[in-house]
Structure 1
């Protein structure tokens, strides 16, 4: 196991200060490539719970510098993710990338973004805005909108509770659709809550609605119809899209079709190739059977693909 230097760091994005951890291989004689890890939805910290820990360790041992950070309003970062737009979150990822590229151990031209789940949308938005990235990686990132993705996840959750064909599945999904339409009408939170109360607050809806308050409702309304396709069409770098074949949170087949359609579009720059890897048996976190074990071959696939898409350093050591 290689020695790793771990350093707590802070950097600024607009009006917020973000806190994170920088991991660098100690033995590196030359400047190394770098990876910024962008966490998923909700209050994601720098380790995305514990999910990022084995990814961080593997990438550092493979010779990459790795920066991960607390989402705004989480951990030691200031601000509030619930008031943030997708552009705000993308600006945070861009600030993290700029900070990583400024480190003396890192090749600036060989550092890119890795986004998990919602963080994939963030990484795509940040990547579409620039032409200096060597690559972008999305991990369990939906190709559909948040509203469609949440409906898919809720449907799978309800099937697990009730079994196929139970009438409560249809009624709860109908209530979800009513909440989505209320969001599109910019309804206030009491109006949305009244819809839930009038429907008897079905227990299965708690999967989606259990933590929703006024501030989170504003965030959900703002985000629900985000479309990743415009960002996919503007990509100017290779894209690796990773999925678990048993993901019940993201519609994998639909997402792959959307990613592929964007890659085939005449407007997409030629350098923006698409590589898709689906790991059978992997869930939303590319783990197996609800355990913390990542699916076999996943970590090696990530590090090998990144190594193959890194621009070799021409400047020697730094």
Structure 2
């Protein structure tokens, strides 16, 4: 009899535990459903716009409450619109236009780059890409229809040359945010990149003096019309933020910072943040601080503009 009672008691415990598990599962499902039902705090709109006779395709991300706006400028490579990056910015109150690079994705035109046997860093191509970016700025400005919202440019690597060229062409550009952009000529950057040769341990075996000497004196491997960003930056009057990684093996960071400091000494509103342990990919590394720093700086641009 005692055995039967024990079995009955055990059965009751199992039944209660089963019911608790069912309730927990139902609660979790309802919670997930509620989260999924919450609409994002931004809207998106797919667009097409013309640049230099070609139709480019992109997406505009518009937050409910906008503190600033940017056009995302590509680095090198066959890059489509950067929707994850745009989503992150939009969630932080920054309106975004991101588009497929010309000749990539849904954008017309001809892509230039080593993947297709052409040069994507000569002055002709960099200038063309800056014209695309300028056209995108005009589209975003018209879409927002609010001249109190400052529009800037954001991007990394090769965008470090394209962004100043764009700002020089389009006075609607009010600020620049650049990740790992070189403040040296294209040819100098290539000399440095060939010297480091993709070696992640480069800075463990080489000194700043070694790298600088090679960057400034090594013979060029390619002949093309060069681009000097310092010349363009010396003409601009808008603020800019550069974010660098101290272990970068594609851009000579210390040399770039020296040029920035020279420009700052002449009254330019240029700032930089150095993250000593990071490499070239400062924007999307495991460290979230570079992106947080950039977002905070861009939001502050809006506050400063409002005060003025």
TM-score, length basis structure 1? 0.69
Q: 1:86 aligns with which of 115, 119, 126?
A: 126
8 Å contact kept, 1:102–1:108: no
- Counterparts in 2 of 1:81 and 1:309: CA distance versus 1, 3 Å: same
Higher relative contact order (CA 8 A, sep 6+): 1
Shift, 1:161, TM fit: 9.1
8 Å contact kept, 2:198–2:249: no
8 Å contact kept, 1:116–1:140: yes
Partner of 1:10: 48
- Counterparts in 2 of 1:99 and 1:158: CA distance versus 1, 3 Å: closer
Q: Distance in 2 between matches of 1:276 and 1:40?
A: 19
Q: 1:306 aligns with which of 298, 301, 308?
A: 298
Q: 1:70 aligns with which of 100, 118, 128?
A: 100
Q: Distance in 2 between matches of 1:62 and 1:3?
A: 9
Measured against aligned partners, the alpha-carbon deviations of 1:226-245 in whole angstroms (never above 9, x if no partner) come to 11111110111011111112
Q: Distance in 2 between matches of 1:161 and 1:135?
A: 34
Q: CA RMSD in A?
A: 3.1
Shift, 1:261, TM fit: 1.4
Measured against aligned partners, the alpha-carbon deviations of 1:252-294 in whole angstroms (never above 9, x if no partner) come to 11011112212323xxxx5x4011111232221116xxxx644
The answer to whether 1:279 aligns with 2:261 is no
Partner of 1:101, secondary structure, is helix
Measured against aligned partners, the alpha-carbon deviations of 1:137-172 in whole angstroms (never above 9, x if no partner) come to 11110011222212222222265599959xxxxxxx
Q: 1:46 aligns with which of 81, 106, 129?
A: 81
Tell me, which stretches of 5 or more residues in structure 1 are unaligned? Answer: 166-172, 185-220
Q: 2:72 aligns with which of 17, 37, 56?
A: 37
Q: Distance in 1 between matches of 2:262 and 2:249?
A: 23
Aligned length: 251
Q: Say which structure is richer in helix.
A: 2
8 Å contact kept, 2:45–2:59: yes
- Counterparts in 2 of 1:81 and 1:88: CA distance versus 1, 3 Å: same
Partner of 2:68, secondary structure, is strand
Q: How does 1:97-246 map to 2 (within 5 A)?
A: 97-104=137-144, 107=147, 109-157=149-197, 159=199, 180=221, 183-184=222-223, 221-222=224-225, 225-246=226-247
8 Å contact kept, 2:134–2:169: no
Shift, 1:74, TM fit: 1.2
Q: Distance in 2 between matches of 1:229 and 1:64?
A: 28
8 Å contact kept, 1:58–1:299: no
TM-score, length basis structure 2? 0.71
Q: Distance in 2 between matches of 1:9 and 1:264?
A: 42
8 Å contact kept, 2:153–2:175: yes
8 Å contact kept, 1:67–1:100: yes
8 Å contact kept, 2:199–2:249: no
